[in-house]
Structure 1
Amino acid sequence: MSKPKFPDQSHSIWFEETSIPTFEPLTEDLTTDVVIIGGGITGITAAYLLSQQNIKVALLEASTLLNGTTGHTTAKVTAQHEIIYQDLINKMGYNTARLYYEANMDALKLVEELVTNHQIDCDFEKQDAYLFSTSGEYKNKLEKEYQAYDNLNIKGNLESEIPFNVPIENALSMKNQAQFHPLKYLSHLIKLIQDKGGKFYEQTVAVDVEDAHGAAVVVTRDGFRVKANYALACSHFPFYEGTGLYSTRMYASRSYVLAVKANKPYPGGMYLSVDKPEHSIRKATYNGEEVYLIGGEDHKTGQGKGMMEHFKGLKRFCDDLFTENEYEILHRWSAQDLITLDKIPYVGPITKKRQNVLIATGYRKWGMTNGTNAAKLMSDYVLGEMNPYQDVFSPSRFSPDPSLKKFFMENLDMAKHLIKGKMEVPRTKIEELDHDEGSIIRMDGERKGAYKDPDGQVHIVDTTCTHAGCEVNWNESERSWDCPCHGSRFSYTGEVLEGPAETPLQKHDFHMIDDYKFDDKRSGY
């Protein structure tokens, strides 16, 4: 193999060899039993569970189905969510920690049951999951996590090695976890939902929920209305916050993945380093061949070093795993998820007064089980069935310790980035941009964002996020403008890619004369 190089474009392997059905936008008012907003694992699983009980469902997706976080996951189906159980015991109590584990194991079992019962060909297979440390500090943390496993009766072992060329201090296993191909699995569920009469609408942006004599009415950006007994907001970040202040109770984090072909067979298992930056390893099948998925390098969205530096960090980790001529980078991509104050997702009624509007968010990058559990919890709520995990995941929980401290810390961080963006003085000039390069510029004395595409056309947008007024930063890996405050992301033309923002960035006309001269009366150039 030649020296490994990064592919030019970001692309998840899950979209290869998968036929995902497409749907038309909503073009009329609609009445149904349950309206679901968001076409990822939570929305689709909830639609499946409800449709099997002869509940009429309509699912609205702002973009295309499975094109968000679900389509860019590493797809580990596991209850081993980094180092969490000792922390949950200390801060939330034994019962909460045990119920969190049971909820995620039940989600794993539900996925396995659906795969088996419907004979879904999605590369589902059981694997042991491992956390491993490479430093003394995290060795001690893993030993404490192992004590938590023992206290919670979680099957696992403390081990001294893993089957990779990485020196470790110790490793902690969790037995009988799983992995799969998420889009093959969910594409099959979509067909089953359609067979039961479920409706799907893509390119349909929900912007509000109104109360109509006890019914929930979802209003779309195009002015259409969907009336239902329940509205389930499964849209990654809740498109409707009500009075829940969710944008102040979570932060967005990005992580990165490389699909790597290597000249050595995969030894089995799923792995995650707990040192910073974290790195994960699992296998997958791509074009009939075994590949390694190398992930990690997480950070707060819109903050820190350039995005390509995180891919370079993954490549350095690959250099430790393989010799330089032993591997090839086939694809690269990134994903984003939300993290709550206490690390447990928010699932349930959005407020105590709006019991028929439910949300599911804050999966902390463990959406295959947390998302499945959320779907089961919400469907049980709609069906009037008791669920043992309802209180654990309730969005209305807000314990003073540690939530209150983290609440102030996260909002202080937001304020810091808000001020920093306003005070920043851009130094790049438009004529200095290369093709396929973006940067912050100053135009007519104001901060703007400029991107010159591969054809040389320049795209100018206002850099003030339309959600809370923070200043977005350029993400050269995804060719997007990312907000460091609440994680909203916009395309280089200003369109919303991810919430909580609902309104695009303002565009500015800019006419190119040639590669080095630009015609804009306001620019000063």
Structure 2
Amino acid sequence: MPDQNETNYTLPGKAKSYWVATTPESNYPALPGDIRVDVAIIGGGVAGITSAFLLKEAGVSVAVIEADRIITGTTGNTTAKITSQHSLIYDRLISEFGRGQAKQYADSNQAAIDKIEYIVRSWDIDCDFSHKPAYVYAGSEDSAQKILDEVRAARSLGLPASFEGDLPLPFKTYGSVRFSHQAQFHPRKYLCALAKEIPGNGCHIFEKTRALGIEGGDPAVVKTDKGTVIAENVIQATNFPIIDKPGELFKKLKQSMSYVLGTYIEEPFPDGMFINAEKPVRSLRSQPTERGEMVLVVGDGHPTGNGNPTHEHYRHLEDWVRSIYKVRSIDYHWLTEDVISEDKIPLIGRLTPESEHLYLATGFKKWGMTAGTAAAMILMDTILGRNNPWTEIYDPSRSGQGPQFSMENVSGIEPGQGTIIEKGEEEKVAVYRDQQGLLYTLNPACRHMGCFVSWNDAEKTWDCHCHGSRYNARGEVIQSPAVYGLLEKKVRGQDEKPYSYIRKGS
């Protein structure tokens, strides 16, 4: 069992996604200069890569622009369930959006499952694709009625839903929704295979190329740190959009983190993918590996920049899995960050009604494998001037309120730690001390919209809980919507030396 003293808790396994750890790193070139294509796609995750793949098949020239390496961000850290069962959602959709739009959501996600399977079979992609039933189970009697309501709602929309009483899980449940013919896979094996088909015939993937802004018009212009991409149409597929002022998207979106443990257990894992109906979320699925079946233990989600110290979330998951299974080893730990809209429905389509050539795909609410694939199908149809039956439910022009946030400050700092120090009532400085004792002092105002960042102790990052931008300990941007790093902030002590030059004990 892990030490219950937080300061002594050691994070288990490698600090890396299993998907990233078991596939070669991509090595596509940076943008060599100014180019022109039919469609520029910002972001190399599931929505961006799938959009590029489908558009190229349709004869459209595309350029994928990725700030780092493709399929290493949110998509590279997913749990990779391919399912239309997105926890308990359909009873609420019918109540709040009506049966017609609820059916659009159901049909689009079911179609995404079929599209992924079709691509896997047609292109003979070795990506561990397999069909699995998906379950949402009631972990308490209070959720039992919600399960029954969800079964009825899902079945009324034509989904493959049924009620299941007893589940092969090592704890008591109170009924579940079962969706048959769902699936799982290795997302990087799948998407890397799609990516290989994109370059050529006027199509490109550009890595290590950060988009800095978009100018609308006909044609549109994407400005990057390596050059300019001129395109008839632009798709933002960057998890949180980097251009979010038109349509006031920043009021409609927030980011949330979840935690994953790659675990080997002594017992055989049951056939299926499982998630509970309560908070905190506890999700389980298996993955075949060279060492046997690995179980992904997922949950403890919270808004980015809020929540307990991040070590505690991993520890909660470890305590839980050890309480229900005989754990042989925990080989990986990682976190994933995803965008959630205010009404829990993705935003897919034109950025605003007036944005004739600017498109958006975001807000997948941690169900990006089907939602991102459905987004690619919707955007392809829209760009090609074809009718798509699912556009209404995902319209980005829905109105809404922005997320609320707060900031907690702490004092004291040791090597390898960071904190926010207040100087007076208004002045704040973000301080990180590295293992050699060197202090880095930064302005904690996020470069996206000025919200204050907070320290993520497990990942050694500065995280913005306003819209989810993230920076490494030195202030360099690692997660959009921000495109510029935190500014250095000189703070002077009694000896008049900048903090950034003071070592511990000096």
User: Are the counterparts in 2 of residues 52 and 196 from structure 1 also a CA contact under 8 Å?
Assistant: no
Question: Structure 1 residue 285: deviation in Å?
Answer: 2.5
Question: Structure 1 residue 12: deviation in Å?
Answer: 0.3
User: Are the counterparts in 2 of residues 247 and 500 from structure 1 also a CA contact under 8 Å?
Assistant: no
Matched, 1:92 2:97: yes
Q: Given the superposition, is the C-alpha separation of residues 339 and 211 from structure 1 closer, same or farther in structure 2, using an over 3 Å criterion?
A: closer
How far apart are the structure 2 equivalents of 1:258 and 1:276?
18
Q: 1:183 aligns with which of 160, 181, 188?
A: 188
Q: Which residue of 1 aligns with 2:375?
A: 374
Of residues 379-388 and 1-10 in structure 1, the stretch that sits farther from structure 2 once superposed is: 1-10
How far apart are the structure 1 equivalents of 2:499 and 2:202?
48
Question: Structure 1 residue 462: deviation in Å?
Answer: 1.5
How far apart are the structure 2 equivalents of 1:351 and 1:311?
39
Question: Structure 1 residue 168: deviation in Å?
Answer: 1.1
Question: Structure 1 residue 251: deviation in Å?
Answer: 1.2
How far apart are the structure 2 equivalents of 1:188 and 1:28?
26
User: Are the counterparts in 2 of residues 13 and 286 from structure 1 also a CA contact under 8 Å?
Assistant: no
Q: Which residue of 2 aligns with 1:280?
A: 283
Q: 2:269 aligns with which of 266, 269, 284?
A: 266
SS at 2:297's partner residue?
A: strand
User: Are the counterparts in 2 of residues 10 and 477 from structure 1 also a CA contact under 8 Å?
Assistant: no
User: Are the counterparts in 1 of residues 415 and 433 from structure 2 also a CA contact under 8 Å?
Assistant: yes
How far apart are the structure 2 equivalents of 1:434 and 1:286?
39
Q: Which residue of 2 aligns with 1:427?
A: 411
How far apart are the structure 2 equivalents of 1:292 and 1:425?
36
Q: 1:171 aligns with which of 161, 171, 176?
A: 176
User: Are the counterparts in 2 of residues 426 and 442 from structure 1 also a CA contact under 8 Å?
Assistant: no
Of residues 68-77 and 267-276 in structure 1, the stretch that sits farther from structure 2 once superposed is: 267-276
Question: Structure 1 residue 196: deviation in Å?
Answer: 4.7
User: Are the counterparts in 2 of residues 127 and 268 from structure 1 also a CA contact under 8 Å?
Assistant: yes
The residue correspondences of 1:472-491 to structure 2 (distance < 5 A) are 472-491=453-472
Question: Structure 1 residue 304: deviation in Å?
Answer: 2.0
Matched, 1:293 2:277: no
How far apart are the structure 1 equivalents of 2:10 and 2:243?
42
Q: Which residue of 1 aligns with 2:505?
A: 516
One-letter amino acid of the counterpart of residue 464, structure 2: C
SS at 1:103's partner residue?
A: helix
One-letter amino acid of the counterpart of residue 316, structure 1: D
How far apart are the structure 2 equivalents of 1:314 and 1:52?
42
Question: Structure 1 residue 455: deviation in Å?
Answer: 3.5
Question: Structure 1 residue 265: deviation in Å?
Answer: 1.8
Q: Which residue of 1 aligns with 2:223?
A: 219
SS at 2:298's partner residue?
A: strand
Q: 2:417 aligns with which of 437, 440, 445?
A: 437
Q: Which residue of 1 aligns with 2:165?
A: 160
Q: Which residue of 1 aligns with 2:325?
A: 322
Q: Which residue of 2 aligns with 1:456?
A: 437
Q: 1:62 aligns with which of 67, 74, 94?
A: 67
Q: 1:240 aligns with which of 243, 247, 263?
A: 243
Q: Which residue of 2 aligns with 1:523?
A: none
One-letter amino acid of the counterpart of residue 379, structure 2: M
Question: Structure 1 residue 8: deviation in Å?
Answer: 6.8
How far apart are the structure 1 equivalents of 2:369 and 2:378?
14
Of residues 382-391 and 442-451 in structure 1, the stretch that sits farther from structure 2 once superposed is: 442-451
Q: Which residue of 2 aligns with 1:522?
A: none
Q: 2:125 aligns with which of 120, 128, 134?
A: 120
Of residues 174-183 and 476-485 in structure 1, the stretch that sits farther from structure 2 once superposed is: 476-485
Matched, 1:470 2:451: yes
- Deviation string, structure 1 residues 388-438 (Cα, Å, up to 9, x no partner): 11222111233xxxx4xxx1xx44x24xx2xxx4xx66532xxxx333222
One-letter amino acid of the counterpart of residue 493, structure 1: R
Of residues 476-485 and 442-451 in structure 1, the stretch that sits farther from structure 2 once superposed is: 442-451
User: Are the counterparts in 2 of residues 165 and 320 from structure 1 also a CA contact under 8 Å?
Assistant: no
User: Are the counterparts in 2 of residues 251 and 487 from structure 1 also a CA contact under 8 Å?
Assistant: yes
SS at 1:451's partner residue?
A: strand
Q: Given the superposition, is the C-alpha separation of residues 456 and 232 from structure 1 closer, same or farther in structure 2, using an over 3 Å criterion?
A: same
Question: Structure 1 residue 385: deviation in Å?
Answer: 1.7
Q: Which residue of 1 aligns with 2:6?
A: none
How far apart are the structure 2 equivalents of 1:19 and 1:425?
40
Question: Structure 1 residue 510: deviation in Å?
Answer: 4.0
Q: Which residue of 1 aligns with 2:492?
A: none
How far apart are the structure 1 equivalents of 2:43 and 2:50?
11
Question: Structure 1 residue 241: deviation in Å?
Answer: 2.2
User: Are the counterparts in 2 of residues 159 and 173 from structure 1 also a CA contact under 8 Å?
Assistant: yes
How far apart are the structure 1 equivalents of 2:409 and 2:107?
51
Question: Structure 1 residue 197: deviation in Å?
Answer: 4.5
Q: Which residue of 2 aligns with 1:26?
A: 31
User: Are the counterparts in 1 of residues 94 and 102 from structure 2 also a CA contact under 8 Å?
Assistant: yes
One-letter amino acid of the counterpart of residue 333, structure 1: W
Q: Which residue of 1 aligns with 2:52?
A: 47
User: Are the counterparts in 1 of residues 416 and 432 from structure 2 also a CA contact under 8 Å?
Assistant: yes
One-letter amino acid of the counterpart of residue 296, structure 2: L
Query: Identity percentage over the alignment?
Result: 35
Q: Which residue of 2 aligns with 1:497?
A: 478
Question: Structure 1 residue 474: deviation in Å?
Answer: 0.6
SS at 1:305's partner residue?
A: coil
User: Are the counterparts in 2 of residues 61 and 203 from structure 1 also a CA contact under 8 Å?
Assistant: yes
User: Are the counterparts in 1 of residues 38 and 61 from structure 2 also a CA contact under 8 Å?
Assistant: yes
Matched, 1:343 2:344: yes
- Deviation string, structure 1 residues 14-61 (Cα, Å, up to 9, x no partner): 012312421222231111111110000111001100111221111111
User: Are the counterparts in 2 of residues 34 and 56 from structure 1 also a CA contact under 8 Å?
Assistant: yes
How far apart are the structure 2 equivalents of 1:489 and 1:339?
16
User: Are the counterparts in 2 of residues 132 and 274 from structure 1 also a CA contact under 8 Å?
Assistant: yes
Matched, 1:397 2:398: yes
One-letter amino acid of the counterpart of residue 98, structure 2: G
Q: 2:153 aligns with which of 139, 148, 151?
A: 148
One-letter amino acid of the counterpart of residue 164, structure 1: L
Question: Structure 1 residue 513: deviation in Å?
Answer: 5.7
User: Are the counterparts in 1 of residues 411 and 419 from structure 2 also a CA contact under 8 Å?
Assistant: no
Question: How well do the aligned residues superpose, as a CA RMSD in angstroms?
Answer: 2.1
Question: Structure 1 residue 5: deviation in Å?
Answer: 5.9
How far apart are the structure 1 equivalents of 2:325 and 2:91?
33
Of residues 449-458 and 171-180 in structure 1, the stretch that sits farther from structure 2 once superposed is: 449-458
How far apart are the structure 2 equivalents of 1:37 and 1:151?
37
Of residues 442-451 and 161-170 in structure 1, the stretch that sits farther from structure 2 once superposed is: 442-451
Question: Structure 1 residue 183: deviation in Å?
Answer: 0.2
Q: Given the superposition, is the C-alpha separation of residues 502 and 390 from structure 1 closer, same or farther in structure 2, using an over 3 Å criterion?
A: same
User: Are the counterparts in 2 of residues 129 and 270 from structure 1 also a CA contact under 8 Å?
Assistant: yes
Matched, 1:303 2:306: yes
Q: Given the superposition, is the C-alpha separation of residues 118 and 233 from structure 1 closer, same or farther in structure 2, using an over 3 Å criterion?
A: same
Question: Structure 1 residue 7: deviation in Å?
Answer: 3.1
Question: Structure 1 residue 171: deviation in Å?
Answer: 1.4
Q: Given the superposition, is the C-alpha separation of residues 76 and 196 from structure 1 closer, same or farther in structure 2, using an over 3 Å criterion?
A: farther
Q: Which residue of 1 aligns with 2:139?
A: 134
Q: Given the superposition, is the C-alpha separation of residues 487 and 513 from structure 1 closer, same or farther in structure 2, using an over 3 Å criterion?
A: closer
One-letter amino acid of the counterpart of residue 91, structure 1: E
Question: Structure 1 residue 157: deviation in Å?
Answer: 2.0
User: Are the counterparts in 1 of residues 15 and 333 from structure 2 also a CA contact under 8 Å?
Assistant: yes
SS at 1:187's partner residue?
A: helix
TM-score between both structures, scaled by the size of structure 1: 0.89
Q: Give structure 2 stretches of 5+ with no counterpart.
A: 4-8, 490-497
How far apart are the structure 2 equivalents of 1:502 and 1:158?
47
